[in-house]
């Protein structure tokens, strides 16, 4: 927390559009703000809305980098606004909503609707054996390393950055994206899930799934949780090729 | 008039709401969840450290069971908790962990053999037995005798929420995202659902249901510095309060977490201290052993937070341009532990502070963290004042936590209350007399009333700015209704909050933008939050004692003779500027653990007149049944099992207690 005496004047160029207003047209609006120590885009956007423009729409929930709601395009690159410090950006900052997802207004997009549909399609839950669970009994053991491996892939926050950065998603509306393929990899690892590779093949063994991926790897580059998306997609693809033969 | 019918309307898409919806749905009732945000973004996500369940899996958890967990929780609550509810909870939390283990939560698991841990700043080697290999792991947390907190690295809430949301999708439960309940539909006796605003289009719809459940989490945003997410504005609390009938319990009981990072207030988990992290002052001195020689950094949160503020007042804080703070030093844990078991802590320090916690100390200061108060419910989760209204999780005063919640008992509560209340809601819906028979006029009037309020705000005639009023409220709450409370400050706070409430009746909204209108949302929520702030401040003013997180400098002793009571706040008239308070006594004669010293903090309290007699009775029962085993003793002291849904009764198996 260095005490900086000379403060920068930041200029924000924010994409404005209200799809519920028939007269509205998309435009970039400029706002100015004096930078403060430790200022994040969360702090800056709230200050703009509270003091300059109450109509500005954007989403934050946890403001701590764990819920994924504030993903947006920051100077051309998808990222989490809450944990982007302004001191790491130049004095001119351009903000736009994530592409691909339904726009709610300004910087706010409906990732939740898309993620729910993806979850329903890929059945992103453990498919249990239906032999009746007795929760009074000691739980089934699991290898500690395997548990940690599953957690690593379970860290996905469904922010949508990977899909917003994806070339295939631009062309294929129904592409499940790295977020979906990572989930398949996660449930594949999980011994509690009874599904086989054949079952997964029916879910992602086509161009809307793992064979649609063009390996441009932007998903891997922009993932705010540093998930090993590149490795997982390659792995799932290899398994699906085998299952499809 | 748009009306949607369902059996169970769940307001809130966090862990408690999701789990109770799953329970009701599995019993054949239609359930519909309303959520401000996609459920996976709920504040349940933020719980890093874990969930308490007395599995007794790890070496340092050996000998743990429901009785030990019960005692820790009641002591932690400073005897404010409902002991029936604590019993229900400690018996069900191992079942909740095991259900989640089956549903796919990647709990961190025990590894057999030697491992190095840090206990009281010493490296110690402990040996995990073969029998525990692969079972759910457990770590140390404040206020517990045993290592009991089950965890997933430090993303426990994250993983539980992922798994539970996906299970709700698998169960076919629809979630209406970006929807907000503005008011309950009720006739003063029976709740029939809620008036709901679509936060994208702005449209109002009436949702009519047999049972309505409030599971909206905490109200931390009433304070300026809080670890709570920005959506934790307490609107669920407020719509219950605004019925004028349903009561909020113990709103003055507000917990501060010792380690909010400074100055942002983002939480770093109690697991840091549980795993061996130390609190240090401006001189690098570890000060907690000076105040709490027994529990040190691992006394309960209210005690640690107060000791930190006390130490800062002695001039031992680290000065910075944002104010003063202390240090949390986790460097002794080593890089591997921090990058694996405290990964989120590392990320938060890295992204928000530019600090590497492997090598550097973390600036911390207590921040508002948890709302112990909430919609007062019976052990079944139903409001005793409004039929058909239920509540679970942080939004409820079920009353598991009393005046101070232990770390790891909130995640536990979300799921356990979800399991229990889900069943009791299903029971409620099963009974034919609870079929909905709502007069259409009541629904129409409720909708019209809410629309009129919004129209009045949007008319632009008001001159007050919601953000200015909100800022003033948050400052008052932090400065005068914080960790240390004094009668004079509380009087001022109550007085000034009333003025803000009156001013809030003249809020004007400048923008009439179609669709989502963030300014309008801030306006109506601010009005509602001011009522919660008043319930908190006024409750704190009237309670002339210190109990748990509620600390009065002018009344530093816990006073069981006067105040072994739960505060009930209702808001009788729309034009009132204060809630109406009532105080409901806790029955010492039924307590399994009569009031005494907590084992940390002040040893000085005023006994309840019934305490010695009850203590003698308890001692006699224990002596008489000493050879009959702990189950017989427990049953004789506090029979509670009838309160649990049949599916959740029964003992919990452990390595040391096989069956």
Mean pLDDT on B113-140? 94
Distance to chain A for B461, nearest Cα, Å: 17
Query: Does the pLDDT at position B646 exceed 70?
Result: yes
Instruction: State the best of B162, B321, B650, B658 to mutate against chain A, taking most chain A CBs within 10 Å.
Output: B162
B263 cis-preceded (ω within 30 degrees of 0):
yes
Burial label, B112 (beta-carbon count in 10 A; 0-12, 13-18, 19+): middle
Share of chain A above pLDDT 90, in %: 91
A3 band by pLDDT with thresholds 50, 70 and 90: low
The Cα–Cα gap between A233 and A188 comes to 12
Beta pairing partners, B396? B375
Q: Which residue has the tokens 């792995």?
A: A235
Active-site entry in B148, B197, B237, B257: B257
Distance from CA of B561 to the nearest CA of A (A): 40
CB B95, CB B648: distance < 8 Å: yes
Query: How do strand B204-214 and strand B389-391 relate by DSSP bridges?
Result: parallel
Exposed, middle or buried by CB within 10 Å (0-12, 13-18, 19+), for A17?
middle
Tell me the mean pLDDT in the region A93-102. 97
Q: What is the ipTM of this complex?
A: 0.96
A14 bridge partner residues: A29, A95
pLDDT value, residue B1: 79
Among A29-33, B70-74, B143-147, B249-253, the least confident range? B143-147
Contact B14, B416 (CB under 8 A): no
Asked whether the beta carbons of residue B518 and residue A49 sit closer than 8 angstroms, the reply is yes
Nearest CA-CA partner of A150 in A115, A192, A112: A192
* Range name among A174-183, B364-373, B523-532, B600-609 with the lowest pLDDT average: B600-609
**For B95-112, what is the mean pLDDT?**
97
Chain B nearest-CA distance from A126, in A, is 6
Among candidate residues A173, A155, A114, A1, the one with its CA nearest the CA of residue B353: A1
Q: What is the mean pLDDT of residues A49-77?
A: 96
The whole-angstrom distance between A57's CA and the closest CA on chain B is 7
Q: Cα–Cα distance between B550 and B205 in angstroms, integer?
A: 40
Chain-chain contact of A120 with B169 (C-beta, under 8 angstroms):
yes
**Closest-CA residue to B84 (of B657, B658, B641):** B641
Q: Which residues does A163 contact at the CB level (< 8 Å), separation at least 6?
A: A98, A100, A101, A114, A169, A175, A177, A178, A179, A219
Look at B517 and A112 and tell me if their CB atoms are within 8 Å.
no
Greatest pairwise CA separation for chain A in angstroms: 67
Q: Quote the minimal CA–CA distance from B280 to chain A in Å.
A: 18
- Within a 10 A sphere around the Cβ of A52, how many other Cβ atoms? 12
Query: What residues in B contact A136, CB-CB < 8 Å?
Result: 95, 98, 650-653
Element (H, E) at B213: strand B204-214
Residue B532 near residue B397 (C-beta atoms within 8 A): no
Burial (CB count <10 Å: 0-12, 13-18, 19+), residue A19: middle
Which neighbouring-strand residues pair with B51?
B150
pLDDT of B550 above 90? yes
What SS3 string covers A160-215?
Answer: CHHHHCCHHHHHCCCCCHHHHHHHHHHHHHCCCCCCCHHHHHHHHCCCCCCCCCCC
Span B197-213, average pLDDT:
97
* Phi (first) and psi of residue B128, to 5 degrees: -85, 130
Contacts of B158 in chain A (CB under 8 A): 66, 154-155, 157
* Å between A167 CA and nearest CA of chain B: 25
Find which of B34, B40, B226 to mutate to test the A interface (most A CBs within 10 Å of its CB): B40
- pLDDT reading at B242 higher than 70: yes
What is the residue-wise DSSP string for B434-482? GS----HHHHHHHHHHHHHHHHHHHT----B-HHHHHHHHHHHHHHHSS
Out of A54, A143, A192, name the one closest to residue B511 (CB). Answer: A54
Say if the Cβ atoms of A38 and B352 lie within 8 Å. Answer: yes
Provide the token pair at B472. 């003033």
How much is the pLDDT for B49? 85
- B518 vs A151: CB contact, 8 Å cut-off? no
Contacts of B576 (CB under 8 A, 6+ apart): none
> Are the Cβ atoms of B46 and A67 closer than 8 angstroms?
yes
Which chain B residue is nearest to residue A224, measuring alpha carbons?
B347
Query: Using an 8 Å Cβ cutoff, are B524 and B182 in contact?
Result: yes
Question: What is the average pLDDT across B209-221?
Answer: 98
According to the model, what pLDDT value does residue B400 have?
Answer: 98
Strand order in the sheet with A92-96: A27-34, A9-16, A92-96, A71-74, A77-80
Instruction: Return the pLDDT at B154.
Output: 85
Q: Compute the average pLDDT of residues B480-505.
A: 97
Contact B369, B361 (CB under 8 A): no
Asked if A21's CB is within 8 angstroms of B517's CB, the reply is no
Structure token digits, residue B363: 């600036």
pLDDT on residue B120: 86
Record: contact A151-B106, CB cut-off 8 A = yes
Q: A with B: how many residue pairs have Cβ under 8 Å apart?
A: 212
The HSE-up count of residue B499 (CA atoms within 13 Å, CB side) is: 7
pLDDT value of residue A245? 84
Least CB-CB distance to A136: which of B106, B351, B653? B653
First CA to last CA distance, chain B: 57
Q: How far apart are the first and last CA of chain A?
A: 58
Determine the Cα–Cα distance for residues B654 and B14; give it in Å rounded to an integer: 30
User: In this model, does residue A61 exceed pLDDT 60?
Assistant: yes
- Could you read off the pLDDT of A14-37 as tens digits, one per residue? 999 999 888 999 999 999 999 988
Q: What's the maximum distance between 2 C-alpha atoms anywhere in chain B?
A: 75
Distance in angstroms (rounded) separating the CA atoms of residues B540 and B546: 10
Residue B273 among the catalytic residues: yes
| pLDDT tier, A1 (very low <50, low <70, confident <90, very high otherwise) | very low
Tally of CB atoms within 10 A around A51: 11
Any idea what the Cα angle at residue B255 is, between residues B254 and B257, rounded to 5°? 150
Q: Quick one: average pLDDT of B70-83? A: 98
- B586 token code pair: 């806790």
Chain A residue numbers with beta carbons less than 8 Å from the beta carbon of B106 are 142, 147-148, 150-151, 154, 190
On the question of pLDDT at A2 being above 60, the answer is no
pLDDT (tens digit per residue) in B41-52: 999 999 988 999
From the list B106, B158, B652, which residue is nearest A66 (CB)? B158
What residues of chain B lie within 8 A of the CB of A151, using their CB? 106, 108, 152-153, 155, 159
Question: DSSP code of B367?
Answer: E
Give the residue from chain B lying closest to A65, CA to CA. Answer: B348
Nearest to B331 by CA among B363, B295, B356: B356
The average pLDDT across B589-612 equals: 95
Confidence band, pLDDT 50/70/90 cuts, at residue A55? very high
Choose, from B27, B29, B273, B566, the residue flagged as catalytic: B273
Q: Is A135 helix (H, G, I), strand (E, B) or coil?
A: coil
Interchain contact, B320 vs A56, CB within 8 Å: no
Residue of chain B minimizing CA distance to A136: B652
Q: Tabulate helix, strand, coil % of chain A (nearest 5).
A: 35, 15, 50
| Residue tagged 């990647």 (tokens) | B106
Report how far residue B283's alpha carbon sits from residue B286's, in angstroms, rounded to the nearest whole number. Answer: 9
C-alpha to C-alpha distance for A42 and A46, rounded to whole angstroms: 6
Please check the confidence at residue B344 and state whether its pLDDT lies above 90: no
Res. B472: pLDDT tops 60 = yes
Distance CA A176, CA A121 (A): 9
Beta strands in chain A (DSSP E): 9-16, 27-34, 71-74, 77-80, 92-96, 103-105, 108-109
Whole-angstrom distance, CA of residue B578 vs CA of residue A59? 33
Whole-angstrom distance, CA of residue B8 vs CA of residue B622: 44
User: For residue B102, what are the CA distances in angstroms to A112, A132, A186, B24, B41?
Assistant: 26, 11, 15, 19, 23
**How many CA atoms within 13 Å lie on the side-chain side of A11?**
6
Q: Which of A1-10, A185-194, B112-121, B648-657 has the lowest mean pLDDT?
A: A1-10
Given A40, A69, A147, which is nearest B37 (Cβ)? A69
Residue A233 has φ and ψ, to the nearest 5°, of -65, -45
Query: Which residue of B41, B263, B322 is in closest CB contact with A69?
Result: B41
- Mean pLDDT over the full length of chain B: 96
Contact B436, B192 (CB under 8 A): yes
> CA-to-CA distance for B333 and B324, rounded, in angstroms?
26
pLDDT of residue B260: 94
Summarised one tens digit per residue, pLDDT across range A98-117 is: 999 999 999 999 999 999 99
Does B7 have pLDDT greater than 80?
Answer: yes
Identify whether B178 is a catalytic site residue.
no
Cβ-based contacts of B175 with chain A (< 8 Å): 116
CA dist B375 → B236, B383, B395 (Å) = 9, 7, 6
Judging contacts by C-beta atoms under 8 Å, the chain A residues touching residue B320 are 1
Three-state secondary-structure class, residue B500: helix
């Amino acid at each position: 927390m260095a005490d900086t005496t000379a403060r920068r004047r930041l200029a924000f160029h924010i994409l404005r559009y209200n799809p519920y207003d028939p007269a509205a047209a998309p435009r970039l609006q400029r706002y100015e703000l004096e930078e403060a120590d430790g200022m994040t885009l969360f702090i800056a956007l709230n200050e703009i809305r509270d003091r300059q423009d109450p109509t500005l729409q954007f989403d934050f929930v946890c403001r701590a980098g764990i819920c994924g709601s504030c993903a947006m395009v920051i100077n051309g690159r998808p990222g989490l606004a809450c944990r982007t410090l302004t001191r790491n950006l130049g004095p001119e900052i351009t903000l736009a909503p994530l592409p691909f997802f339904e726009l709610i207004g300004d910087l706010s997009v409906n990732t939740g609707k898309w993620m729910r549909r993806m979850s329903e399609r890929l059945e992103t839950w453990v498919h249990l054996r239906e032999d009746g669970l007795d929760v009074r009994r000691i739980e089934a053991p699991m290898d500690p390393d395997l548990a940690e491996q599953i957690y690593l892939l379970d860290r996905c926050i469904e922010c949508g950055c990977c899909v917003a950065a994806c070339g295939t998603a631009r062309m294929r509306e129904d592409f499940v994206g790295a977020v979906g393929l990572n989930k398949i990899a996660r449930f594949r690892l999980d011994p509690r899930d009874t599904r086989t590779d054949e079952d997964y093949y029916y879910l992602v063994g086509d161009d809307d799934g793992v064979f649609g991926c063009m390996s441009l790897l932007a998903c891997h580059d922009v993932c705010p949780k540093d998930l090993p998306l590149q490795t997982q997609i390659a792995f799932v693809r290899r398994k699906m090729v085998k299952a499809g033969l | 008039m748009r009306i949607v019918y369902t059996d169970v309307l769940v307001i809130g898409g966090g862990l408690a709401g999701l789990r109770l919806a799953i329970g009701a749905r599995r019993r054949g009732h239609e359930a519909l969840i309303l959520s401000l945000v996609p459920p996976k973004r709920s504040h349940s996500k933020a719980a890093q450290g874990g969930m308490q369940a007395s599995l007794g899996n790890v070496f340092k958890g050996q000998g743990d069971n429901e009785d030990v967990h019960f005692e820790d929780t009641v002591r932690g609550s400073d005897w404010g908790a409902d002991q029936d509810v604590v019993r229900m909870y400690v018996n069900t939390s191992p079942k909740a962990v095991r259900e989640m283990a089956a549903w796919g939560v990647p709990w961190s698991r025990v590894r057999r053999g030697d491992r190095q841990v840090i206990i009281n700043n010493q490296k110690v080697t402990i040996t995990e037995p073969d029998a525990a290999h692969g079972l759910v792991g457990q770590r140390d947390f404040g206020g517990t005798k045993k290592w009991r907190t089950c965890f997933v690295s430090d993303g426990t809430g994250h993983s539980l929420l992922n798994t539970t949301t996906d299970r709700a999708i698998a169960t076919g439960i629809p979630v209406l995202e970006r929807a907000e309940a503005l008011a309950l539909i009720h006739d003063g006796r029976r709740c029939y659902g809620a008036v709901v605003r679509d936060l994208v289009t702005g449209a109002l719809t009436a949702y009519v249901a047999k049972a309505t459940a409030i599971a909206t989490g905490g109200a931390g945003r009433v304070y300026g510095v809080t670890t709570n997410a920005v959506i934790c504005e307490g609107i669920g609390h407020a719509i219950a309060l605004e019925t004028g009938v349903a009561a909020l319990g113990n709103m003055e009981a507000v917990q501060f977490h010792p380690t909010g990072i400074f100055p942002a207030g983002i939480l770093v988990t109690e697991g840091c201290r549980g795993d061996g992290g130390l609190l240090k002052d401006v001189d690098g001195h570890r000060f907690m052993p000076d105040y709490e020689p027994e529990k040190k950094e691992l006394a309960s949160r209210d005690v640690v937070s107060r000791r930190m503020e006390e130490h800062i007042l002695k001039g031992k804080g680290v000065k910075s341009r944002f104010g003063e703070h202390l240090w949390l030093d986790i460097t002794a844990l080593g890089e591997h532990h921090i990058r694996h078991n405290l990964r989120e802590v590392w990320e938060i320090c890295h992204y928000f502070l530019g600090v590497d916690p492997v090598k550097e100390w973390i600036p911390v200061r207590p921040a508002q963290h948890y709302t112990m108060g909430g919609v007062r419910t019976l052990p079944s989760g139903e409001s005793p004042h409004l039929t058909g209204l239920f509540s679970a999780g942080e939004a409820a005063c079920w009353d598991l936590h009393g005046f101070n919640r232990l770390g790891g008992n909130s995640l536990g509560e979300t799921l356990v209350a979800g399991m229990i209340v889900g069943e009791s809601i299903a029971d409620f819906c099963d009974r034919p007399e609870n079929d909905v028979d709502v007069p259409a006029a009541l629904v129409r009037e409720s909708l019209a009333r809410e629309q009129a309020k919004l129209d009045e705000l949007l008319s632009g005639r008001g001159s007050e700015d919601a953000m200015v009023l909100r800022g003033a409220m948050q400052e008052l709450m932090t400065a005068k209704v914080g960790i240390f409370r004094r009668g004079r400050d509380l009087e001022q706070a109550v007085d000034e909050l009333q003025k803000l409430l009156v001013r809030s009746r003249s809020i004007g909204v400048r923008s009439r933008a179609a669709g989502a209108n963030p300014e309008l949302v801030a306006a109506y929520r601010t009005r509602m939050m001011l009522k919660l702030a008043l319930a908190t401040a006024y409750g704190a003013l009237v309670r002339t004692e210190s109990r748990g997180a509620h600390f009065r400098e002018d009344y530093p002793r816990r006073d069981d003779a006067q105040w072994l009571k739960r505060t009930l706040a209702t808001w009788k008239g729309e034009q009132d500027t204060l809630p109406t308070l009532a105080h409901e006594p806790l029955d010492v004669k039924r307590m399994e653990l009569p009031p005494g010293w907590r084992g940390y903090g002040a040893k000085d309290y005023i006994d309840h007149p019934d305490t010695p007699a009850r203590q003698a009775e308890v001692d006699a029962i224990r002596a008489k049944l000493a050879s009959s085993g702990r189950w017989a003793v427990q049953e004789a002291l506090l029979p509670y099992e009838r309160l649990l849904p049949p599916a959740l009764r029964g003992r919990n198996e452990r390595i040391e207690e096989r069956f």
